[in-house]
Amino acid sequence: MTAPSTYGLSTQARNLQWLLTDLVEEVPGVNSVAVVSSDGLLLLSSDPGGAAAGRNPARTKGPRGASADLATIVSGLGSLTTGAAELMEGGAVKQTMVAMEHGSVFVMAISDGSLLGVHATPDCDMSVVAYHMALFVGRAGHVLTPEVRSELRQSMEKTP
């Protein structure tokens, strides 16, 4: 994985980046991870500069490659499921999972309206991925203040 520079970031922002890196590196089957703000902007990514080492370089379309694609998908799924929950009077959406032939996408709500998204391999243990996502949300939710969100957003804009 290509680690983003943490130079100049606050302790909270560095800790969030560390938690995200740990999720990708320690959970079998996880390809990439993105944290998206409630307004759909990419805040954190496991692949901020495009294709990470060992990934398909042909997947680097868009402004930031795979991370931009995942952020778009996470934001769209979050919006779609929130709308569906409102129509069905189902309350707040906690988690969304899409299982595909060649992979899975998981989306989990963070307390401030931000979303955690994970793209995983088709053979991943879905319960292990969901468990580690819940750990991330529990650890990161209280740290993701408006100030930290702004700092993360600015750092993503500076990423080449």
Q: How does pLDDT run across 93-117, given as a tens digit for each residue?
A: 999 999 999 999 999 999 778 999 9
- Directed axis angle between helix 126-140 and helix 11-26, to 10°? 170
User: For every one of its 160 residues, what pLDDT tens digit does the chain have, with 9 covering 90 and above?
Assistant: 444 455 677 888 888 888 898 899 999 999 999 999 888 889 998 875 443 333 444 444 433 457 788 999 999 999 999 999 999 999 999 999 999 999 999 999 997 789 999 999 999 999 999 999 999 999 888 888 778 888 888 887 766 5
Q: What is the 3-state secondary structure (H, E, C) of the chain?
A: CCCCCCCCCCHHHHHHHHHHHHHHHHCCCEEEEEEECCCCCEEEECCCCCCCCCCCHHHCCCCCCHHHHHHHHHHHHHHHHHHHHHHCCCCCCCEEEEEECCEEEEEEECCCCCEEEEEECCCCCHHHHHHHHHHHHHHHCCCCCHHHHHHHHHHHHHCC
CA-CA distance, 77 to 25, in Å (whole number)? 24
CA-CA distance, 47 to 2, in Å (whole number)? 6
- Cβ count near 82 (within 10 Å): 17
How open is the CA angle 27-31-36, to the nearest 5 degrees?
95
Spell out the residues 6+ positions from residue 125 whose beta carbon is closer than 8 angstroms to its own.
Answer: 28, 29
